[in-house]
Amino acid sequence: MGLFVGGFTLWVEKDVIGASGPEFAFTALQRVLIAGRALWFYLGKLLWPSPLMFIYPLWRVDPFPWLQLLFPAAALAAILLLWRGRGRLGAGR
């Protein structure tokens, strides 16, 4: 089901909306950087929603300022910590 919905979303964004071209040509590393940054950005907006705006400024996605690699690394670390503590979390202890 997930593969079907993912494929449908890919089709809609590419063929119906027109999300294609050089501005959408990201490398795999750039996509990982965007995903890691987006996770922490929106989590931060949940905790402190200021300033809110309709369109946020574009992020500069460049792997060479190595600090950007901390976003996906921190996301992976958080996932691993939650996975490790899965027996204690929600167990009602």
Measured distance CA(80)–CA(34) in Å, rounded = 20
Residue closest to 30 by CA, chosen among 58, 5, 57: 58
Q: Which residue from 36, 22, 24 is spatially nearest to 69, judged by alpha carbons? A: 36
* Residue 93 pLDDT > 60: no
pLDDT in tens, 20-73: 888 788 888 888 889 999 999 999 999 999 898 888 888 878 767 788 889 999
